[in-house]
Structure 1
Amino acid sequence: MVFHVRGSPIGYTSVLIAVLASMGGFLFGYDTGQISNVVAFDDFKIRFATGAPDASGIPTWNVWLEGLVVGFLSIGTAIGVVLGAPLADRLGRRWAMSVEVGIFVIGVLIQVTSFTEWYQVAIGRLVTGLGVGALSAAVPLYQSETVPRQVRGALVATYQLFITFGILISYCFGIGTRTLAPSSATWRLLIALGIPFSLILGIGIQFCPESPRWLAKRGRFDEAYRSLAKVRGADPGDGNAWVEQEYSDILAGIEAEKHLPESTWLDCFKPQRRTLYRTLLGIMLQAGQQLTGANYFFYYGTQIFTGAGISDSFVSQLILGAVNFICTFGGLYILERFGRRRPLIYGAAWMVVWLCVFAGVGTGGDPDTYGIAVTQIVAAVFFIMGYATTWAPGIWLFVGESFAMRTRAKQASLATLSNWVWNFAIGFFSPPISNTIQFRYGFVFAGANALNFLVALFFVYETQNLTLEQIDEMYNSGVPAWKSTSWVPAGYESREQVKDAEKAEDTTATGVEDPKPEWRTKPGDEAEDGKRKVPKTVATTTESASGSSA
């Protein structure tokens, strides 16, 4: 089955890939959201909290111990995201995700079998984090390498959508399981419900095609071609022009890298082909996403909603989670309609404004009064709108599409590692900082967003409507980031022409010279071993580089 986007045929398999792979983001969001409910349940505090009892005799949390229990997930993810790159390169994107789901399940089981020792819960979250972290590197990578470029922005951004969906669902389930009090099922069931969601990804992803770029790099050209045809909803024997063009582009990328050895972590920091530039930019943008201050609103949500007369912390979390989730749908449209650069630039500026309103009103007035609290709620909602539609999905899209094939998995891991390191830092240090400087903490994040604005303005390239191979070409063209919107590949006059170039029945009908016409093969034109014919240099290079097709 096929639908069309701007005349381009897109198979519904592409949507299935985006949704299934994004379950990795759901697990990220679910595990992040449920812990805020778990640490608030009385049975959990009785078993694991070590602070002085409150008026009802239930132990309270030492803020540093609470930070450790919450933050161990981020420690695990920081390790997992580094391990995710070699795993995704070694096993392939799909099998890596299935293995990582298995690690996630083991971590959940460790947590739900905890009884009296807080460090068992922390270790379980560490193991869970290993799986979530590795998935956070593999999922955007797989999506960007597999889905057609005409819908790449929206479909890769579904990863962030599912993060917010996971947070929202965890809040809903938390409201449901608290009715089981005083039983330990309040928190055990909430944690355990992550397992069936993880199995949807671990099993379902095996029914999706493998990344065609990963397959082609390992000399499995016939499988790569079939994978491309499947996401376009085409029959491999039809000679589909869209499939043929992208297949040619992938082979061109392999040809460009044929004289290069297998990549190492050190290669991510070499200046050649602007690799270092892209690595550092990815690290800065992922750090910037955390420093936007989004998590700050979840820390302070209870307090500001209390001032407005909503005393139930579970309800306040649900409201913030719903706003975050709904607004992310807008991000899917914005990133496809307006590109990548402008949403990040304007989004950062928007968040600066509303953070200053939030912090200024809270600092200058009494946050317990109704009017001040309502103003802060409005500021929080508008802030989340800006975050959810720009920096939340946009940074994951950058990670998925901005790195060269040779080092893509490792660079994506390093960038995502930055996200998790700052995630831990904010989760661990925010409670004591917030207790000290109160709402002035919002000004700190406003300053971080001002820096995000400058980074996006001067360093982020516009990648809309380009293939991954054309994006790599753009980075090496010498054009500065602020002029990248007008950059087009050789033989084209505008980005619109690039977007529409393949609408004709064959590539010559566009008037654009085929960049590698000698690499074109007709469907069914196969070598004696059954594999698709490719240039000898490409086949030899990929076989020697991979050493195996496994």
Structure 2
Amino acid sequence: MAVTFNVRGAPIGWSAIAVALLASMGGFLFGYDTGQISGIQEMADFVSRFGTEPPDGSVAGATMSFNKWLIGLIVSMLSIGTAFGALVGALLADKLGRRYAMFVEVIVFDIGVIIQVTSFNAWYQVGIGRLITGLGVGALSAAVPLYQSETLPRQIRGAMVGTYQLFITFGILVSNCINIGTRELDNSGSWRIPVALGIPFATILGIGILFAPESPRWLVAHGKNDEAYRSVAIVRGAKREDSNPWVEAEYSELISNYEQDIKLGAGSWLECFKKPNRVLYRTLLGIALQAGQQLTGANYFFYFGATIFSAVNLQDPFVTQIILGAVNFVCTFLGLYLLERFGRRVPLIIGAAWMVVWLLVFGLAGTLGGNPDGTVTSTPIGQLLIISACFFILGYASTWAPGIWLFCGESFSRRTRAKQASIATLSNWIWNFLIAYFSRPIADSIHFEYGFVFAGANFLNMIIAYFFVYETADLTLEGVDQMYSDPNVKAWSSAKWVPEGYSTRDDIKKSEKDADDIAHIPDNREDGTWKAKPDPVTGEERDNVRKHPETKIETA
């Protein structure tokens, strides 16, 4: 008997949790690569090998250092690769399936790691390695939230898709800890070890995903109906041979929606930019939100945290980086709760406002209490900078960090979901590159006033979230599509929209709780099927007769 637990009356298999966490290792790799470079660029062996000029640009024989534009390029090469990888990720996910696409992307990631750790004196080899690693990470960033949102039951979809961001923060924290453990080595092991450890972490995902169920939506689209039924059964904690009402209902809905998609034809890249059913609206909103996530300023701290706080009169800026990483990781758990408890819109609006406040504190403290050269000698001001950065990370990690990946996983059109997710993710990586490449030179020029720039960006994020983001909590992916297709629904009133037959979103939850009794009704017919109680909302008789997965659908 499969082990299950209930969420709002709906049976969920523990296997669904395992699937979500395993796939989220793709996010871990992203976070691990993001976090490690912040400390590595400060390590003596790395600087002496790949630095290109003396500290003052003229003294011969002095310890080498990085030109600020060169280190920006090395850091941002990951983002250049991820931008291209995000587009390739959609093609691979649609062609190979979500699981095998992730397996291939892990191999690409490993190749990039190998190129980096075999570098000796050529900075561009490190850059090329980060570029290739980025290809793998970028493709995973498109495939993982897509796979999770298509495979997991809607009752846990918000929290479980949010684990992708949780694992990003976990990767950042782990890389910070490894950096502080190897930085005292007086050889290349100080930076080679953190980079090389990416391979065993990637192997967990690459091997494990082969044993996970494939996306049932992808399987139905490729005529593999029996496997699709099995995939739905696995995450519900049911056996393939059982006539489980939850599995029957979800499988039937998959078949029905696919039949509708067949009549409409295959979704193309061009269709992502067409107006009907607000497809263009959702594409542009995804682009804006992913850009907004980067412009929150979080990666400014993650990429250059050790450098930022080395100017704040601290004996060990690496410790501060770990503190920020720990706050980021822990507060992401809060985000998983908030996005399930309060929906998607409200956390994004309040989160953006919260970040505005603390970035203003950060900018004012550094500007008014710092020196003209960007250093801070006052201990209270230094402490205030660290505290404001931590409170900023709290707001980011609990709202915009997981919330935007969740949006991309559940808000796009069924027929173009993978392509729209890739386009939106491409926006994330383009802005990631711009932040990584230009932050060091900008911060060297305006110092802590950089916080004001990000405060302004977060104010704009708050406006966008209020006027354009639709509430998708408690809806199936198909229900989300119906909501966006309703011309009478506006973003600020979207929380009141419900599918036909329901009065409120609470009615959907009540329906799920009442249906828990149905899940335990024994077979009451000679043919092994069962008859359900009347629908608790509409009062209609529900006669759930199994649709045999073996029945193939004619494809266009």
TM-score (norm 1): 0.93
TM-superposed CA distance for 1:510, in Å, is 2.3
Indicate whether 1:423 and 2:448 are aligned. no
Aligned counterparts, 1:97-112, within 5 A: 97-112=102-117
Match of 2:550 in 1: 532
Residue of 490, 497, 504 corresponding to 1:494: 504
TM-superposed CA distance for 1:302, in Å, is 4.1
Instruction: Look up the SS of the partner of 2:183 in the other structure.
Output: helix
Q: 1:309 & 1:67 partners in 2: Cα distance?
A: 24
TM-superposed CA distance for 1:497, in Å, is 1.6
Residue of 528, 534, 555 corresponding to 1:509: 534
Q: 2:301 & 2:92 partners in 1: Cα distance?
A: 35
Q: In terms of mean alpha carbon deviation, does 231-240 or 135-144 score higher?
A: 231-240
Structure 1 stretches lacking a partner, 5+ long: 545-550
Instruction: Look up the SS of the partner of 1:263 in the other structure.
Output: coil
Q: In terms of mean alpha carbon deviation, does 326-335 or 371-380 score higher?
A: 371-380
Q: 1:365 & 1:177 partners in 2: Cα distance?
A: 34
TM-superposed CA distance for 1:533, in Å, is 3.1
Aligned counterparts, 1:292-311, within 5 A: 292-298=296-302, 301-302=305-306, 305=309, 309-311=313-315
Match of 2:240 in 1: 236
Q: 1:310 & 1:123 partners in 2: Cα distance?
A: 33
Contact kept in structure 2, 1:521 and 1:533, CA below 8 Å? no
Instruction: Look up the SS of the partner of 1:129 in the other structure.
Output: helix
TM-superposed CA distance for 1:236, in Å, is 2.6
Structure-2 change in CA distance of 1:143 and 1:241 (3 Å): same
Q: In terms of mean alpha carbon deviation, does 367-376 or 61-70 score higher?
A: 367-376
Structure-2 change in CA distance of 1:390 and 1:507 (3 Å): farther
TM-superposed CA distance for 1:237, in Å, is 2.7
Aligned-pair Cα RMSD in Å: 2.0
Contact kept in structure 1, 2:37 and 2:303, CA below 8 Å? no
Residue of 482, 493, 514 corresponding to 1:483: 493
Instruction: Look up the SS of the partner of 1:107 in the other structure.
Output: helix
Counterpart of 2:110 in structure 1: which amino acid? V
TM-superposed CA distance for 1:512, in Å, is 5.0
Structure-2 change in CA distance of 1:300 and 1:224 (3 Å): closer
Q: In terms of mean alpha carbon deviation, does 433-442 or 507-516 score higher?
A: 507-516
Residue of 440, 458, 467 corresponding to 2:476: 467
Counterpart of 2:342 in structure 1: which amino acid? F
Residue of 205, 213, 221 corresponding to 2:225: 221
Residue of 240, 256, 261 corresponding to 2:260: 256
Counterpart of 1:282 in structure 2: which amino acid? G
Counterpart of 2:554 in structure 1: which amino acid? T
Instruction: Look up the SS of the partner of 1:257 in the other structure.
Output: helix
Indicate whether 1:317 and 2:327 are aligned. no
Residue of 122, 127, 130 corresponding to 2:132: 127
Match of 2:373 in 1: none
Indicate whether 1:208 and 2:222 are aligned. no
Q: 1:210 & 1:515 partners in 2: Cα distance?
A: 33
Aligned counterparts, 1:150-549, within 5 A: 150-181=155-186, 183-298=187-302, 301-302=305-306, 305=309, 309-366=313-370, 367-478=376-487, 479-502=489-512, 503-504=514-515, 505=518, 508-512=533-537, 521-522=545-546, 526=548, 531-533=549-551, 539-541=553-555, 544=556
Instruction: Look up the SS of the partner of 1:10 in the other structure.
Output: strand
Q: 1:34 & 1:301 partners in 2: Cα distance?
A: 11
Structure-2 change in CA distance of 1:508 and 1:57 (3 Å): farther
Q: 2:183 & 2:255 partners in 1: Cα distance?
A: 55
Counterpart of 1:404 in structure 2: which amino acid? S
Instruction: Look up the SS of the partner of 2:475 in the other structure.
Output: coil
Q: 2:460 & 2:541 partners in 1: Cα distance?
A: 42
Contact kept in structure 2, 1:150 and 1:499, CA below 8 Å? no
TM-superposed CA distance for 1:255, in Å, is 2.5
Q: 1:514 & 1:427 partners in 2: Cα distance?
A: 57
TM-superposed CA distance for 1:148, in Å, is 0.6
Contact kept in structure 2, 1:307 and 1:369, CA below 8 Å? no
Match of 2:88 in 1: 83
Structure-2 change in CA distance of 1:416 and 1:161 (3 Å): same
Structure-2 change in CA distance of 1:515 and 1:200 (3 Å): farther
TM-superposed CA distance for 1:261, in Å, is 2.6
Counterpart of 1:501 in structure 2: which amino acid? S
TM-superposed CA distance for 1:7, in Å, is 1.4
Deviations 1:34-56 (A, max 9, x none): 11222222221222110115799
Indicate whether 1:38 and 2:48 are aligned. no
Deviations 1:77-100 (A, max 9, x none): 000000000100000000000000
Residue of 20, 23, 26 corresponding to 1:24: 26
Sequence identity (%): 61
Contact kept in structure 2, 1:141 and 1:412, CA below 8 Å? yes
Q: 2:80 & 2:532 partners in 1: Cα distance?
A: 49
Structure-2 change in CA distance of 1:516 and 1:63 (3 Å): farther
Instruction: Look up the SS of the partner of 1:498 in the other structure.
Output: helix
Structure-2 change in CA distance of 1:490 and 1:105 (3 Å): same
TM-score (norm 2): 0.92
Structure-2 change in CA distance of 1:302 and 1:168 (3 Å): same
Indicate whether 1:48 and 2:50 are aligned. yes
Instruction: Look up the SS of the partner of 1:475 in the other structure.
Output: helix
Q: 1:365 & 1:131 partners in 2: Cα distance?
A: 43
Counterpart of 2:351 in structure 1: which amino acid? G
Q: 2:180 & 2:369 partners in 1: Cα distance?
A: 32
Aligned length: 530
Q: 2:361 & 2:44 partners in 1: Cα distance?
A: 35
TM-superposed CA distance for 1:249, in Å, is 2.0
Q: 2:482 & 2:231 partners in 1: Cα distance?
A: 24
Q: 1:304 & 1:123 partners in 2: Cα distance?
A: 26
Instruction: Look up the SS of the partner of 1:259 in the other structure.
Output: helix
Q: 1:71 & 1:174 partners in 2: Cα distance?
A: 19
Deviations 1:269-318 (A, max 9, x none): 01122110000000000000000111223466446645765321221211
TM-superposed CA distance for 1:364, in Å, is 1.8
